[in-house]
Amino acid sequence: MSILNNIRIALRALKANKLRSSLTVLGIVIGVAAVVALLSIGKGATSGITSQVQGMGTNLVVISSSRFFRPGAEATSVSLLYSDYQAIVSEVKNIASSTPYFESNETVAASTRSSNYTIIGVTPSYEKVTLQTIDLGRFITSEDGLTLKRVAVIGSTVSSDLFQGLNPIGRTIKINNVDFEIVGVLTSKGTSGFMSGDSDVLIPLETGYSKIFGARARSNGKNVLSGISISAADANSVNSVVSESETVLRSQHNLGLKDTLPFSVSSQAQMLSSLSSITATMTALLGAIAGISLLVGGIGIMNITLVSVTERTREIGLRKAVGAPRKAILFQFLVETVTLSLIGGVLGIAFGSAIAGVVSFLGLITAVITWDVLILAFTFSALIGLFFGIYPAWQASKLSPIEALRYE
Amino acid sequence: MIEAREITKIYKLGDDEVHALDGVSLKINDGEMVAIMGPSGSGKSTLMAILGCLDTPTSGEYLVDDQPAAGLKENQLASLRAHKIGFVFQQFNLLPRTSALENVMLPLTYDGTKIKDRIARAEEALETVGLKDRMKHHPNQLSGGQQQRVAIARALVNDPALLLADEPTGNLDSKTGAEIMALFQELHTTKHQTVVYVTHDSFVARHTERIIHLMDGKVVRDEINKNPIKAGTPRPDDLLANGNGKNGAEVHQ
């Protein structure tokens, strides 16, 4: 009994039952494709977030009134003030540059289009501290702020959304119905989502206070900030900048050492470690979804196998009756399931990668396809395929031909 | 030549033991055409399965061409089935969605026949049963009689020492059944094929020269039939009146 002969028998059986074969393949394809797509997108999102934080610069210290980097912290009524920024700049040592900012979501309109964007009031040093670069035009200058000019620098996504490829420099947009002239466009950072700046509209902080942000940016008559970004002089001074800033903030707000600081002061390293718990959760979530897809795919395979088990048991009975030894039967089913698993696995990888590719192409998340994901997806579904393909055959081949033929 | 000596087959149904065969001895020589006849429950299908090496007896000896088959291992039995035996079932048991030709080739894929010889031999077998023009048809494109002919071609394709058939006309109308009987008779007379079939129908049984009567798992009569019915002869009315012979209406057990 040659191996080639057995392979021919198996392929012939697959060909004779095209519907059953393709449904089994479909089950494997669904499982593999879902796992590949979900895990790739998950990995892409995770590494995207991490690289964006890294892209902010290793010497970065961020003081924020938001709770984002301090999960579990309570909401507070204490505001970060512009005067806090001034105190930090004058008292903390080893600051290379720093920028205060205030951000809020506003409606932005250009001719017929309008949409909501994050409007950030900034100072000229924002460009350097947050590692932005100008693609077209110029950045905001200190003169813009001092003279309360209504000028704006927009992110690349905003530019393409509102102007569809036209040069936006010199054009006018309305932010909450106030006219602003576009003087610059930021270079895209290439990644989307959190903190990229591509979807931001930057205006001079002073102009923002007087024309846009209104009462939300004022607390007891003082100007409020969303945050302060500080670039430490070098990597070694990051920790001292963090602790000195905290000290300044405490004294500014009359807080003792034991009081909880109502702001977060964090370095990039701290942000990365906070993020790692978020990304770990995300990976676990995606892993769970992928596991469910594999289960669904596996159940698909199992259903097809179980539905056809009567017919196949009779087929086994017949093959044995005309002289097939048990070994040949098992080998036939092994080749059948291996073939289906291979086809399904390859198609599933192609299909899953295509989904990941489309997601990346649409600019939602840059999916990262790695070998371990492909191997994991393929191995799992191949094992499920093999088990559900061979187990019934193994059972049926134990029956005598006459029992198998009478199986119902 | 096949020879059975004191064959018993005991099935266990819960705590009960059912003696399907209770010491059956018989000998069938090469070139004989024999009918094994008995009512439902007489053990004839069990005997057939053992003669066809599809099942093993609980005790007793069984020789196929002087080779003992009773105590054989599974693989040796499979080899016997592949080389010595052709089996025809009441329900045809063809592989669905598979052409007549490929169905007939099936036994050759397991007996070591070279791939290039398989098609020629399968075509030859289909020609013998008169279906050379239907080789590419799938079972669902063939009538019941044609499907049974394909099954007979499949049983003949490995040149078996013994052609066994279990109620071969049981699922066919009387006209088609007569065609199958004619085919058996022709194989017997022109090719000296040893043919053994099981039936509950005495009219069908009387198409052979020898009728072995089975009852309650025992051979009760081994009868020589000097004037076998020629296939195609109309069924006599008295046999139709006999409750045991209603045109194959008995449901297979």
- Confirm or reject contact between A216 and chain B (CB < 8 A): no
Could you read off the pLDDT of A228-276 as tens digits, one per residue?
999 888 888 888 999 999 999 988 888 888 877 888 888 888 877 877 8
| Per-residue confidence (pLDDT) for residue B245, from 0 to 100 | 44
Could you read off the pLDDT of B4-48 as tens digits, one per residue?
999 999 998 888 899 999 999 999 999 999 999 999 989 999 999
- Indicate if the pLDDT at residue B215 is higher than 60: yes
Domain assignment present for B46: yes
Do residue B78 and residue A319 have CB atoms under 8 angstroms apart? no
Do residue A321 and residue B87 have CB atoms under 8 angstroms apart? yes
Domain assignment present for B172: yes
Do residue A400 and residue B154 have CB atoms under 8 angstroms apart? no
Any long-range contacts for B173-181 (C-beta under 8 Å, 24+ apart)?
Answer: B173/B144, B173/B247, B174/B235, B174/B247, B174/B248, B176/B143, B176/B144, B176/B145, B176/B148, B177/B204, B177/B248, B178/B231, B178/B232, B179/B145, B179/B231, B180/B145, B180/B148, B180/B149, B180/B152, B181/B207, B181/B231, B181/B232
Q: What is the CATH number of the domain that holds B163?
A: 3.40.50.300
In sequence order, the β-bridge partners of residue B37 are B199, B213
Which is nearest to A320 in space by CA: A310, A335, A330? Answer: A330
Which residues in chain B are contacts of A325 at CB distance < 8 A? Answer: 74-75, 78-79, 110
Q: pLDDT band at residue A41, thresholds of 50, 70 and 90?
A: confident
Query: What is the chain A residue with the closest CA to B46?
Result: A402
- Indicate if the pLDDT at residue B250 is higher than 50: no
Structure tokens that stand for B11 in this block: 């099935």
SS3 of A330, please? Answer: helix
Please state the domain count of chain B: 1
- Indicate if the pLDDT at residue B238 is higher than 60: no
- Confirm or reject contact between B1 and chain A (CB < 8 A): no
Q: pLDDT band at residue A1, thresholds of 50, 70 and 90?
A: low
Restricting to B residues 216-245, those with a Cβ less than 8 Å away from any Cβ of A are none
By Cβ distance, the residue of A314, A326, A400 closest to B55 is A400
Q: Please give the distance of CA A399 from its chain centroid, rounded to a whole number.
A: 53
Domain assignment present for B11: no
Q: pLDDT band at residue A114, thresholds of 50, 70 and 90?
A: confident
Instruction: Check if the beta carbon of residue B25 is closer than 8 Å to that of residue B41.
Output: no
- Confirm or reject contact between B92 and chain A (CB < 8 A): no
| Per-residue confidence (pLDDT) for residue A66, from 0 to 100 | 60
- Indicate if the pLDDT at residue A11 is higher than 50: yes
Domain assignment present for B176: yes
Restricting to A residues 162-201, those with a Cβ less than 8 Å away from any Cβ of B are none
- Indicate if the pLDDT at residue B81 is higher than 80: yes
Query: What is the chain B residue with the closest CA to A398?
Result: B74
Could you read off the pLDDT of A174-200 as tens digits, one per residue?
998 899 999 999 988 765 444 567 889
- Confirm or reject contact between A398 and chain B (CB < 8 A): no
Query: What is the chain A residue with the closest CA to B99?
Result: A16
For residue B167, the enclosing domain spans: 29-58+71-241
Which residues in chain B are contacts of A322 at CB distance < 8 A? Answer: 81-82, 87, 106-107, 110, 154
Closest approach of B116 to chain A, Cα-based (Å): 12
- Indicate if the pLDDT at residue A69 is higher than 70: no
Alpha helices by DSSP H, A323-364:
326-361
| Per-residue confidence (pLDDT) for residue A195, from 0 to 100 | 57
Domain assignment present for B9: no
Domain assignment present for B6: no
By Cβ distance, the residue of B52, B74, B96 closest to A326 is B74
By Cβ distance, the residue of A324, A327, A402 closest to B49 is A402
Closest approach of A316 to chain B, Cα-based (Å): 10
Task: Among B110, B114, B157, B159, pick the best mutation site for testing chain A contact (most A Cβ within 10 A).
Answer: B110
Q: pLDDT band at residue B184, thresholds of 50, 70 and 90?
A: very high
By Cβ distance, the residue of A5, A314, A325 closest to B78 is A325
Do residue A322 and residue B79 have CB atoms under 8 angstroms apart? no
Which is nearest to B25 in space by CA: B223, B253, B214, B224? Answer: B214
By Cβ distance, the residue of A16, A318, A324 closest to B93 is A318
- Indicate if the pLDDT at residue A52 is higher than 80: no
- Burial pattern B71-95, b for ≥16 Cβ within 10 A else e, equals ebeeeebbbbbbbbbbbbbbbbbbb
Domain assignment present for B50: yes
- Confirm or reject contact between A307 and chain B (CB < 8 A): no
Domain assignment present for B18: no
- Indicate if the pLDDT at residue A58 is higher than 80: no
Which residues in chain A are contacts of B93 at CB distance < 8 A? Answer: 314, 317-318, 321, 405
| Per-residue confidence (pLDDT) for residue B13, from 0 to 100 | 85
Which amino acid would we find at residue A306? L
Which residues in chain B are contacts of A17 at CB distance < 8 A? Answer: 97
- Confirm or reject contact between A405 and chain B (CB < 8 A): yes
Structure tokens that stand for B131 in this block: 């279906």
| Per-residue confidence (pLDDT) for residue B253, from 0 to 100 | 42
Closest approach of A13 to chain B, Cα-based (Å): 8
Could you read off the pLDDT of B109-163 as tens digits, one per residue?
998 888 889 999 999 999 999 999 999 999 999 999 999 999 999 999 999 999 9
